[in-house]
Structure 1
């Protein structure tokens, strides 16, 4: 086998190491899914094996889930519904065989386990996870228009009850190790690096080779559809899903159908029900569009798919941000996290210090969650210099201005910053509305002038628009993309024009709402209709969110 290595120790415990060659992270590729039945057969038939422990050979994580491009292509390749179902059943059938193999199987989760990765561990009889802030456990498939299709809808529901399971799956949320134990998703949290040892100890201690739902006396936690308490999960859940999705996302509805029908029947039948609804969902245009846009295309962009060819790779070490408001401070924060020395400039030292205080608050939040050590926190905070001194720009690979949306102010900032920059350094404007070609008129080197448009709050919003002015050179494009990828954001490259891509879509949406308001339609109807089209907010309430006077300023 290419993806699994099996070592049997003197106690008869097989250590199964999951390690997909040539990849930094394990995923459930077609090759992996083809080998899982072989692993199960070896555990089941090898008399020397008394039990098994499944772990990852990757330092980066346990398993990030299915390879969606590979999976979707494989399941839909034949074109017929039966062929799609058969392809979809492969993983479910293999995992069912694992949990009924007759020997105790434990998962030693030594990294993040998401989607199919968590489903793989749920098919094990016992789950041990390392105590690390970097580890997440969850079923996030809903975020790409799908729902768990490897037994997750049935096993998680039987483990923690309908309400908790549906809440987690419809939100696509994840648990940290101790939260997962508290929720009942894993059995044990141990010191990082001791997961395998703890899993083997469970087997040596007489670990049971039967899942709870295969015991004759099993009862659904919280009750099922015909339980006086359990039925409320579906009555209320139905309404909540409708409220949240407006019927635009078949995955959410099909997920609830799979859970509702599945928990009324034995596990083998339940898994077949899940597979049918999963394939039905996968075949919808909504799911296929979301997989393409939010997974496949995003992956390509994150790897620099639109980067100009032939330009040497750059690695920005020092970046100046001019404007220490919420936007500028947010940019400074993500830069610091990426290990970039940051100069944060504002008109007064007080304003600059306020910007650094915002960076400090965000870093403290990570420190309190155990995501940073005190030493790392101190180093990151020290890497941000709050100042009014433009001389400190010297040596910067890139400057980003995040000042007020005013041409004169931006022109002044451009001239003062460029006077300190060396040749080849890039000047980026974070403007959301003013065309880059016009702003570049203030630059003495427009070939190095580009738009780098972040979204607020910067620490949470992953998209960055790279906007090309009329004279922007390819080297500036490449360096800007290298910078965006270093701070772990997703870049899209767009041509110049008022509003660029995102603000143009946003502006059109709001303008249509205002036009309807002017024509006499009730505001509630306008906003409800906006949400029904799939937007997170109605056009009028969204207009309120960003401030009504901003539209006036932009228009002027």
Structure 2
């Protein structure tokens, strides 16, 4: 097996470590699936194995399925007839369910020592184990099923095991909204059997396996199993299922088939055995993959987004660089927000405004933002003060002498922007890039005020900057590859998603908004109720 190591201790407990070579994170790919089938057979047939602890050799347990394989195989599938395509997809989808089912019915107790993030298929693997142990001192170790957020559904038993584990009401936010749980909250829900310090994770998992070596049966395989909270025909369960469909419709307007199919999987699966439920899940997964909405969401929200966040639009002629210090000119709401997210990412910020009072007010916005983090327990006061300390509020342009990037965020007035450009370029280094945060003025026109148009670019944030994850990078007619590369360096460093767009009216996002508004007005004119 390439992706798993196998060590048996003196008590016959096998420590299986998931550690795919050459990858920063474990994902469930075709070769991992092949290894998993072999692993399941070895556990079942090797008499020396009395029990198993499954953990990861990486900081995360498993990030789920390799969706690039789902997206990448569509070209070959298109050549098949519809029935052949369905059969092929079902075979692929059911493979993980079949393997995990063999694992949980192998007759030997298995515990998952979840040392880090276990999402999607990673979480589903742990639910096929008889015990789950999570760390008390690693907030990054979380379990969740984010598939619905990218247009698919949990295809490794998540729609069947999770509701049987915690009930439909507790499972719904995890299945439909991608909610994640750390160790303590997972234990409270009944997902984790134990929560211990990281150093004790494997030993505690072994202890659970050894405590009751004959208990190798999942709750849903027992004769007396009752669906937590009641199934569809139980008085309490009927209320939950009865409310679920209209609530889903209210929130999605029927535009997201993944959520609807997840609900169908749970509703139908709750009325049959786990084996039948798993086949129902795989059928809905197949049906989902044949829909254009799901294929497009996988492409845009997962494959393309991942590529962009890794700097996928960087010109081939450019190497990744570092943006360590920036200037933000204009300390209003947008400028203050840009300064806040930049400081949070470890970047030193010179925040300039026309007067000191305005600059101080902009910095106070950042201080208030970080103090909210302190109140919510996400930051220590010391850390909040240190981050805010990276922002220097001033009116002095001389402080721009060593910045890597300037972001102009003043009012939407070309004359003012042109003046700011000249003032900044008198001071900034020769290799610094100048960017405008304009939402409507053409970058090519603004660049005319610059003495180096090839280093002039648009970086357009959306409001509020702290929450909106998309950033438009706008190429003027004369913007060069170097400026584009540095802009990508900056946007990826602040952990936002950069899209490179043309210098057209409305750029990209507002151009789409205008089409939506126009279509809405047309519908209103045709007599459709608002």
TM-score of the alignment, normalized to the shorter chain, above 0.5: yes
Instruction: Give runs of aligned pairs for residues 102-141 of structure 1, distance below 5 A.
Output: 102-131=107-136, 132-141=138-147
Task: Write the distance in 2 (CA, Å) between the matches of 1:328 and 1:136.
Answer: 34
- Residue by residue over 1:198-229, the C-alpha shift from the partner in whole angstroms, topping out at 9 and shown as x without a partner, is 21121232263211111111100111111111
* Residue 311 of structure 1: how far off its partner (Å): 2.0
- Residue by residue over 1:15-67, the C-alpha shift from the partner in whole angstroms, topping out at 9 and shown as x without a partner, is 111111111111111111111111111211222221111111112x1111110
Task: Write the distance in 2 (CA, Å) between the matches of 1:72 and 1:520.
Answer: 39
* Structure-2 residue corresponding to 1:193: 199
Structure 1 residues 362, 98: closer, same or farther in 2, change over 3 A? farther
Q: Does 1:468 align with 2:475?
A: yes
Instruction: Give runs of aligned pairs for residues 334-373 of structure 1, distance below 5 A.
Output: 334-367=341-374, 371-372=378-379
* Structure-1 residue corresponding to 2:11: 11
* Structure-2 residue corresponding to 1:536: none
Task: Write the distance in 2 (CA, Å) between the matches of 1:70 and 1:422.
Answer: 45
* Residue 76 of structure 1: how far off its partner (Å): 8.3
* Structure-2 residue corresponding to 1:22: 22
Alpha-carbon contact 2:371-2:381 (below 8 Å) kept: no
- Residue by residue over 1:223-242, the C-alpha shift from the partner in whole angstroms, topping out at 9 and shown as x without a partner, is 11111111122221111122
Relative to structure 2, which stretch is displaced further, 259-268 or 196-205? 196-205
* Structure-1 residue corresponding to 2:65: 66
Task: Write the distance in 1 (CA, Å) between the matches of 2:415 and 2:200.
Answer: 60
Task: Write the distance in 1 (CA, Å) between the matches of 2:326 and 2:146.
Answer: 34
Q: Does 1:37 align with 2:54?
A: no
* Structure-2 residue corresponding to 1:551: none
* Structure-2 residue corresponding to 1:54: 54
Q: Secondary structure at the match of 2:421?
A: helix
Q: Does 1:500 align with 2:520?
A: no
Task: Write the distance in 1 (CA, Å) between the matches of 2:133 and 2:365.
Answer: 37
* Residue 83 of structure 1: how far off its partner (Å): 2.1
* Structure-2 residue corresponding to 1:401: 408
Instruction: Give runs of aligned pairs for residues 273-292 of structure 1, distance below 5 A.
Output: 273-292=280-299
Structure 1 residues 84, 514: closer, same or farther in 2, change over 3 A? closer
- Residue by residue over 1:397-435, the C-alpha shift from the partner in whole angstroms, topping out at 9 and shown as x without a partner, is 001112221222222222222221111210111111111
* Structure-1 residue corresponding to 2:168: 162
Task: Write the distance in 1 (CA, Å) between the matches of 2:104 and 2:345.
Answer: 42
Structure 1 residues 44, 75: closer, same or farther in 2, change over 3 A? farther
Task: Write the distance in 2 (CA, Å) between the matches of 1:110 and 1:45.
Answer: 27
* Structure-1 residue corresponding to 2:494: 487
Instruction: Give runs of aligned pairs for residues 268-307 of structure 1, distance below 5 A.
Output: 268-307=275-314
Aligned residues: 522
Q: Secondary structure at the match of 1:90?
A: helix
- Residue by residue over 1:311-348, the C-alpha shift from the partner in whole angstroms, topping out at 9 and shown as x without a partner, is 23311111111222332222222222322111122233
Task: Write the distance in 2 (CA, Å) between the matches of 1:119 and 1:244.
Answer: 26
Please list every run of 5 or more consecutive structure 1 residues that lacks an aligned counterpart in the other structure.
527-556
Q: Does 1:97 align with 2:71?
A: no
Structure 1 residues 191, 324: closer, same or farther in 2, change over 3 A? farther
Task: Write the distance in 2 (CA, Å) between the matches of 1:88 and 1:458.
Answer: 39
Q: Secondary structure at the match of 2:235?
A: coil
Q: Secondary structure at the match of 1:193?
A: helix
Q: Secondary structure at the match of 2:335?
A: helix
TM-score (norm 1): 0.90
* Residue 469 of structure 1: how far off its partner (Å): 0.9
Task: Write the distance in 2 (CA, Å) between the matches of 1:268 and 1:506.
Answer: 46
* Structure-1 residue corresponding to 2:237: 230
Alpha-carbon contact 1:27-1:63 (below 8 Å) kept: yes
* Residue 368 of structure 1: how far off its partner (Å): 5.2
Alignment partner of 2:448 out of 441, 450, 469:
441
* Residue 250 of structure 1: how far off its partner (Å): 1.5
Structure 1 residues 342, 305: closer, same or farther in 2, change over 3 A? same
Task: Write the distance in 1 (CA, Å) between the matches of 2:41 and 2:376.
Answer: 42
Task: Write the distance in 2 (CA, Å) between the matches of 1:483 and 1:133.
Answer: 27
Please list every run of 5 or more consecutive structure 2 residues that lacks an aligned counterpart in the other structure.
none
